[in-house]
Chains A and B, each alone.
Chain A
Amino acid sequence: MRTISKKLNNEEVEAFGKEVEALREEMMAKVGKEDAYHIRFIYKTYRYTEILGRGLIHFSFEPISFVAGSLLLATSKILNNMELGHNVLHGQYDWMNDPRFNSRTFEWDIVSDAHQWKFYHNYMHHTFTNVLNKDHDYGYNFTRLTEGQKWKPTHLTQPFTNLFLAMNFQWGVGAHGYRVEYMEIPKKQRKKKTLKDYKAVFFKKIELQLVKDYLFFPLLAGLNFPKIILGNLIANLIRNLWTYAVIFCGHFTENAESFSVDDIVGETKAQWYLRQLKGSSNLDGSNFFYTMTGHLSHQIEHHMFPGMPAKRYREVAPRLKEICAKYGQHYNTGSFVKQFASVWKRIIAYSFPDSIAGKLMGTKKKYLEPKVVLSQPSFQISLPGEEKSASLT
């Protein structure tokens, strides 16, 4: 993959990593009351929007209150999935020691089982961000986004399959998840738990979700049940489209880079930081927008510091940006519209073979010039599990 960041030598990479790590430590030391207050506020909002949303759907007699109810329910689901669920499941609030916000016990309003999700997201995706064949979130198995993926005629359909995925995003996420878990366990252990076992977990969660939204609540409304089903469908659809948009902007914008398994052999923590930076992209917006994305608007910060309470990313971002500028590293950010457009440019471009894709994508800008040239002594953070990453297939 071409890069528009300056190529750093080893010492520079380590110095960069050291600054990033110092920033992380400084921020983590501040974590406390405010963060607890924030997540409790989100929790409250999520509960109230659900009560109000479902209430309005049930008791609406005209379209306006029905639409308002569906929108509120969608908001509730978005908050539950993103600012609350995604961040809690990352363990960002484990330190609070509150079972409501604990990554071991939290379960969310989405068809993907929380435990499975933690495996393929927290572990696979966050450890191997944008590493082809290792990060299964990269294109979710059927979207080609780089020359590194071999072109097949079926890729011609990817603009359409992506539209479909966007509308059913939670299903896509859940369905690719159990396979990932199966594929990633060592071959020997596969006998103990078959693909079917993993699938059963997923199917159970699907069932719970479907029954809740499309049977339980509609039944409460008696003969009015079609209205409730429709309201839930709308809410789930909005949530799906929204999460799709936010998540695709996180790693698949034009200048987000991908890596090969060889790139990460023997990777140090500093190199890992750098890869997270290059593989992620941010969205600019208002504080409300940030909250509604679960702070995945700050995908770069999130990928560097997945365990940090998400609201802190707002504080981290400008500082991290400075560090990146200092080292001549591209800090990929832009408005939602701009970033989402560039995602779709990529989806469309790479649906064609390389010769056409290359032309559509155009040539990249030159390296950014770093503000300082560094020559600092190197230091080594050894990454636990080095042997592991080396033997990846």
Chain B
Amino acid sequence: MKTFPFIYNEPREFLKSLQPKEWADFLLGEINPRFSTTAIKAKVVAVREETADTKTIVLKPNWLWKGFRSGQHVPVTVEIAGRRVTRFYSLSSHPKDKHLSITVKRQKGGLVSNFINQNIKKGDLLELGEASGEFVLPKMIPSKLLFLAGGSGITPIHSILKQLQSSKYDGKATLLYFVRSYEDVILRSSLEEIAKTTGWLNIRYIFSDVPKEGYDSGFLTKEILKKYTDDLKSYSVYVCGPAPMQTKALSLLEGNEVKSELFLLPGQTSLKVKKSGTVDVFLSLSHKTIQVKGERSLLEELEDQGIYPQSGCRMGICHTCVCKKAVGSVTDLSNGEVSELGEENIQICVSRAESNLELEL
């Protein structure tokens, strides 16, 4: 046996075992909670009320923040009752603004959106991930742009409009903003300001619930599209809003160049409990997709198919079977609770599949 074979062979791993990062993070965090070497922590520098149920949170991130492009979104992690929960939000600010901001509308039953609206105040700390997303303008900006926004889907579009403004855009852009009522229009003053100062932007609000004189009402239709565009086919289209609106838009805009961004909101998805038939479970480490019935624990159903994840007690006490669920929802058999859709660690011996899943197995 060589002297110190592991340290000799794997010096990096040895260094890692001394936890330099953990130490650095701990000490930096003690100096200033925003400091870190591993996590993008952002301080809330202002909270602005947009509408009765929407707030803009202005954030000052630490040095790890790498910036973003207009239209992109970012994972936001907040701590609710001791638990870290992550959701994606579009950045509503312009990349060149001094601070970044997200604009969050309360969703019915939405854990994080409600928490942010109710509890986040100046001075709080949020954790961000890296910005990502393809809902951005191309290098060559098209001369005719059509933006279709629905509800809080305005936030990435707002950011894109600000980008156009700062890059001295000289084409033509139309924004059709579908929203419940005039009071629900998010970021109105900023939008109108862009329209006023630039001249290339045409904003149309369309109210679905409370009509207002001088404005259109209703939902997205062929007629409305026709009404506000000359030759529809010549537009590049950006769509962001709830699922039904997106589906509608995509069917009306066949043949156009369309970019769309869809955030799954609780209660809005088809991922809800589906008792009949089977669900797909994608095992990301072994690159396999299998079907399970969702009748018994995931562990048992996987084993039925010849897949043997680590397990131990099989009754929820030893945590041997803990595995990361990246996507989907499960029911915790020990208390009957249905989980969130997002990423979390689950014990597969006491979890039953509720929707299509992605597991790190």
Binding site for B on A (CB under 8 A): 25, 28, 31-37, 44, 47, 89-91, 94-98, 100, 102-104, 107, 118-119, 122-124, 126-127, 204, 207-208, 211-212, 216, 269, 306-307, 383-385, 388
CB distance from A280 to the nearest CB of B (A): 14
Q: Is B22 positioned at the interface, with any CB of A under 8 Å from its CB?
A: yes
Bound-state Cα–Cα, A100 to B79, Å: 14
CB distance from B127 to the nearest CB of A (A): 10
**Interface 1/0 per residue, B311-353 and A, CB below 8 Å:** 0111111111010100000000001000000001101010000
Q: Are B312 and A123 in contact (CB under 8 A)?
A: yes
Q: Is B122 positioned at the interface, with any CB of A under 8 Å from its CB?
A: no
Of B5, B26, B300, the contact of A384 (CB 8 Å cutoff): B300
**Interface 1/0 per residue, B265-292 and A, CB below 8 Å:** 0000000000000000000000000000
5 tightest A-B CB contacts, nearest first: A36-B82, A91-B319, A123-B312, A122-B318, A32-B81
Given A28-B335, A33-B82, A384-B314, A211:B319 Cβ within 8 A: no
Q: Are B4 and A385 in contact (CB under 8 A)?
A: no
- Residues of A within 8 Å of B6, CB to CB, are 204, 207-208
Residues in B1-60 with C-beta less than 8 Å from chain A: 4-7, 14, 17-18, 22-23, 26
- Residues of A within 8 Å of B316, CB to CB, are 307
Q: Is B361 positioned at the interface, with any CB of A under 8 Å from its CB?
A: no
Q: Are A127 and B317 in contact (CB under 8 A)?
A: yes
Closest chain A residue to B5, Cβ basis: A207
Bound-state Cα–Cα, A351 to B322, Å: 41
CB distance from A29 to the nearest CB of B (A): 8
CB distance from B290 to the nearest CB of A (A): 20
Q: Is B297 positioned at the interface, with any CB of A under 8 Å from its CB?
A: yes
Bound-state Cα–Cα, A126 to B349, Å: 16
Q: Are B7 and A207 in contact (CB under 8 A)?
A: yes
Bound-state Cα–Cα, A389 to B335, Å: 25
- Residues of A within 8 Å of B22, CB to CB, are 100
Closest chain B residue to A40, Cβ basis: B82
Bound-state Cα–Cα, A36 to B7, Å: 35
Total A-B pairs, Cβ < 8 A: 101
Q: Are A97 and B344 in contact (CB under 8 A)?
A: yes
CB distance from B46 to the nearest CB of A (A): 26
Q: Are A211 and B7 in contact (CB under 8 A)?
A: yes
- Residues of B within 8 Å of A307, CB to CB, are 316-317, 319
- Residues of A within 8 Å of B314, CB to CB, are 384-385, 388
How many residues from B make CB contacts under 8 Å with A? 34
Bound-state Cα–Cα, A91 to B318, Å: 8
Bound-state Cα–Cα, A84 to B17, Å: 17
Given A32-B82, A97-B84, A97-B345, A306:B4 Cβ within 8 A: no
- Residues of A within 8 Å of B315, CB to CB, are 269, 383-385
- Residues of A within 8 Å of B344, CB to CB, are 97
Bound-state Cα–Cα, A125 to B22, Å: 31
Q: Is B64 positioned at the interface, with any CB of A under 8 Å from its CB?
A: no
Q: Are B4 and A127 in contact (CB under 8 A)?
A: no
Q: Is B168 positioned at the interface, with any CB of A under 8 Å from its CB?
A: no
- Residues of B within 8 Å of A118, CB to CB, are 318-320
Bound-state Cα–Cα, A28 to B334, Å: 11
- Residues of B within 8 Å of A124, CB to CB, are 312
Closest chain A residue to B77, Cβ basis: A97
Q: Are A104 and B85 in contact (CB under 8 A)?
A: no
Given A33-B81, A102-B345, A207-B7, A212:B318 Cβ within 8 A: no
- Residues of A within 8 Å of B345, CB to CB, are 94, 97, 102, 104
- Residues of B within 8 Å of A96, CB to CB, are 82-84
- Residues of A within 8 Å of B317, CB to CB, are 122, 126-127, 306-307
Of A35, A36, A122, A383, the contact of B312 (CB 8 Å cutoff): A122
CB distance from B68 to the nearest CB of A (A): 24
Q: Are B320 and A37 in contact (CB under 8 A)?
A: no
Of B17, B297, B319, the contact of A212 (CB 8 Å cutoff): B17
Bound-state Cα–Cα, A94 to B83, Å: 9
Q: Are A90 and B335 in contact (CB under 8 A)?
A: no
Given contacts A122-B312, A384-B314, 15 further A-B contacts (CB under 8 A): A25-B335, A32-B81, A32-B83, A36-B82, A37-B82, A47-B26, A91-B318, A97-B345, A100-B22, A107-B17, A118-B318, A118-B319, A119-B320, A122-B313, A126-B317
Given A208-B17, A384-B314, A123:B82 Cβ within 8 A: no
Q: Are B312 and A97 in contact (CB under 8 A)?
A: no
Q: Are A126 and B313 in contact (CB under 8 A)?
A: yes
Find the residue from A34, A44, A269, A385 having the highest chain B CB count within 10 A: A385
Closest chain A residue to B300, Cβ basis: A384
Find the residue from A32, A89, A123 having the highest chain B CB count within 10 A: A123
Closest chain A residue to B360, Cβ basis: A104
Q: Are A122 and B14 in contact (CB under 8 A)?
A: no
- 25 A–B contact pairs at CB < 8 A? A33-B82, A35-B82, A36-B79, A90-B318, A94-B319, A96-B83, A96-B84, A97-B84, A97-B344, A98-B84, A118-B319, A119-B312, A122-B313, A122-B317, A122-B320, A123-B320, A126-B317, A127-B318, A207-B5, A211-B14, A212-B17, A307-B316, A384-B297, A384-B315, A385-B315
- Residues of A within 8 Å of B85, CB to CB, are 97
Q: Are B83 and A212 in contact (CB under 8 A)?
A: no
- Residues of A within 8 Å of B18, CB to CB, are 212, 216
Closest chain A residue to B10, Cβ basis: A204
Bound-state Cα–Cα, A307 to B300, Å: 21
- Residues of A within 8 Å of B4, CB to CB, are 207, 211
- Residues of A within 8 Å of B83, CB to CB, are 32, 36, 95-97
Closest chain A residue to B84, Cβ basis: A97
Closest chain A residue to B7, Cβ basis: A211
CB distance from B225 to the nearest CB of A (A): 43
Bound-state Cα–Cα, A351 to B349, Å: 41
CB distance from A382 to the nearest CB of B (A): 10
CB distance from A300 to the nearest CB of B (A): 15
Bound-state Cα–Cα, A345 to B318, Å: 32
- Residues of B within 8 Å of A97, CB to CB, are 83-85, 344-345
Bound-state Cα–Cα, A103 to B320, Å: 9
CB distance from B37 to the nearest CB of A (A): 14
Given A211-B7, A307-B319, A385:B82 Cβ within 8 A: no
Residues in B209-224 with C-beta less than 8 Å from chain A: none
Q: Are A104 and B17 in contact (CB under 8 A)?
A: no
